[in-house]
Amino acid sequence: MNILIVGSGGRESAFAWKLAQSPKIKQLYIAPGNAGTSRYGQNIALSVTDFDGIADFVIEHAIHMVVVGPEEPLVKGIHDYFLSRADLRHVPVIGPQQQGAQLEGSKDFSKRFMARHGIPTAASRSFTRDTLSEGLTYLETQQLPIVLKADGLAAGKGVLICTTLDEAQTELKAMLADAKFGAASSTVVIEEYLSGIELSVFVLTDGDTYKVLPAAKDYKRIGEGDTGLNTGGMGSVSPVPFADNEFLDKVEDRIIIPTIEGLKKDGIPYKGFIFIGLMNVNGDPYVIEYNVRMGDPETESVLPRLESDLVDLLQGVAQGNLADRSFTLSSKTAATVVLVSGGYPGPYESGKDISNIESVKGSIVFHAGTTSENGLIKTAGGRVIAVTALEDTLFDALQQATADAGRIYFEGKNFRRDIGFDLL
Ligand code: AMP
């Protein structure tokens, strides 16, 4: 098969690494990819939202399947675009159509979906500019802290946890009246604050049945000890020690099954990954958010644990016979440590030479924000490289990944040395 991966981050590097191992692959392409993905396939200089360009490429190169990494093309309707063209309809796209992608593209939509199908989540109400004054009054009746969420995609920045009423009211006005997050905050979800420990659960579905992939925990803050600004993700581990079988059974019964059945009841076709961000509140799971794709850096911890052929599973999704497929997992633990550019998550430096990658022997190196210039690998993003170690114990995996993260060098490099150590 010829497969095209859409995206350019560490997640897409992990997909490329895994798919390239399949005996079913003839040619793998990554659009646009990065300096690392070219080891597993051919990079194609196309933006992830250039649907016409992607379509031309798919036809010219006889692509048999398109695997979409990030949410933006899904929310913008790449899958619908393929279905709308008679010459592309036969090419399966892994990732939901626009309607299903609303689970991530609109927090209001996802809250209504959960309410309709009895899926446990924080209590909430939505407000718009027209109902701003009701929203301000509603805030007065709520406990603190309180969570404000921009409805639409806001590059991971649209969630505010407010600790005073004054702050919450000021922020609500800024979001609704002053378009703090642009159109994304024209609707705001005000949500009860849940106190617990977070983890991510990944599901693959053909729209009828599903497979539960390994759970992971990610680390979002820039600073050690979970301090400082939020980032795209500084590291992850899989499996998650506190997500034992009893907890994961609750997740399946109370969340995964009602989600898949809810999509069916609502007539929403869905072929792809569902990433469920969960809060474990005293042993009970609550949904914090849905994403309609795999996580980054969780993918870099999850895929190395998958022993089976990922192409086979994705064919099950495409053909609607996922129930007939099976997979096995490594019992080892994966730990991922992300190297970021100086200044990230604020304005960061780019174009720095990266050296010593070849000195990493005990981990897998997944490139994220990298580019290749005249044979030299340079930084080209906030998150630059994800280093994943797979070892018998969590401790060994953490030690190995952290040591290997230290071996790679570029000016301004930063990484957290405490990823996963809270779980030991
Ligand atoms: P989201 O974009 O919905 O994942 O929110 C970003 C982060 O905000 C989450 O990863 C949580 O750490 C936090 N968060 C979101 N909703 C809540 C909530 N209801 N209670 C506590 N923390 C939350």
Convert the pLDDT of each residue in 368-408 to its tens digit: 999 999 989 999 999 999 999 999 999 999 999 999 999 99
Does ligand 1 come within 6 angstroms of the Cβ of 147?
yes
157 band by pLDDT with thresholds 50, 70 and 90: confident
Whether residue 156 has pLDDT greater than 80: no
235 band by pLDDT with thresholds 50, 70 and 90: very high
Lowest mean pLDDT among 101-105, 112-116, 181-185, 237-241: 181-185
Nearest CA owner, ligand 1 atom 8: 159
d(CA 103, CA 108): 9
d(CA 304, CA 117): 33
| pLDDT value of residue 407 | 98
Whether residue 20 has pLDDT greater than 90: yes
Whether residue 13 has pLDDT greater than 80: yes
Does ligand 1 come within 6 angstroms of the Cβ of 288?
yes
> Which ligand 1 atom minimizes the distance to the CA of 193?
20
Which residue has better confidence, 215 or 158?
A: 215
Closest CA to 287 of 298, 297, 296, 274: 274
3-state helix, strand, coil in the chain (%, to 5): 35, 30, 35
Does ligand 1 come within 6 angstroms of the Cβ of 289?
yes
* Structure-block tokens of residue 55: 């379509």
Give the pLDDT mean for 16-40.
98
| pLDDT value of residue 271 | 98
Q: What's the CA-to-centroid distance between 279 and ligand 1, angstroms?
A: 9
Q: Which residues contact 274 (CB under 8 A, 6 or more apart)?
A: 103, 202, 203, 204, 205, 259, 290, 291, 292
Model confidence over 190-208: pLDDT tens digits?
Answer: 999 999 999 999 999 999 9
Which of 147, 148, 159, 298 is the best mutation target for the ligand 1 pocket, counting ligand atoms within 8 Å of the beta carbon and taking the most? 159
Which of 121, 148, 288, 289 is the best mutation target for the ligand 1 pocket, counting ligand atoms within 8 Å of the beta carbon and taking the most? 288
Whether residue 175 has pLDDT greater than 90: yes
* Structure-block tokens of residue 377: 């690998």
Q: Under a CB-based contact definition with an 8 Å cutoff, are residues 335 and 415 in contact?
A: no
Neighbours of 151 (CB within 10 A): 25
Q: What's the CA-to-centroid distance between 163 and ligand 1, angstroms?
A: 14
Does ligand 1 come within 6 angstroms of the Cβ of 193?
yes
Report phi then psi at 410, rounded to 5.
-155, 155
Kindly state the DSSP code that residue 120 receives in the 8-state scheme: -
Q: What's the CA-to-centroid distance between 195 and ligand 1, angstroms?
A: 10
Q: What's the CA-to-centroid distance between 326 and ligand 1, angstroms?
A: 33
d(CA 75, CA 175): 21
Q: What's the CA-to-centroid distance between 337 and ligand 1, angstroms?
A: 22
Give the pLDDT mean for 284-290.
97
Alpha helices in 128-243, H assignment, sequence order? 132-140, 165-176
Give the pLDDT mean for 158-163.
94
Model confidence over 309-343: pLDDT tens digits?
Answer: 999 999 999 999 999 999 999 999 999 999 999 99
Give the pLDDT mean for 195-223.
97
78 band by pLDDT with thresholds 50, 70 and 90: very high
CA angle 192, 196, 200 (to 5 degrees): 100
299 band by pLDDT with thresholds 50, 70 and 90: very high
Report phi then psi at 195, rounded to 5.
-110, 125
Average pLDDT, the chain: 97
Residue 57's alpha-carbon distances to 53, 63, 77, 279, 408, in angstroms, are: 6, 8, 18, 41, 35
Can you give the pTM of this predicted structure? 0.97
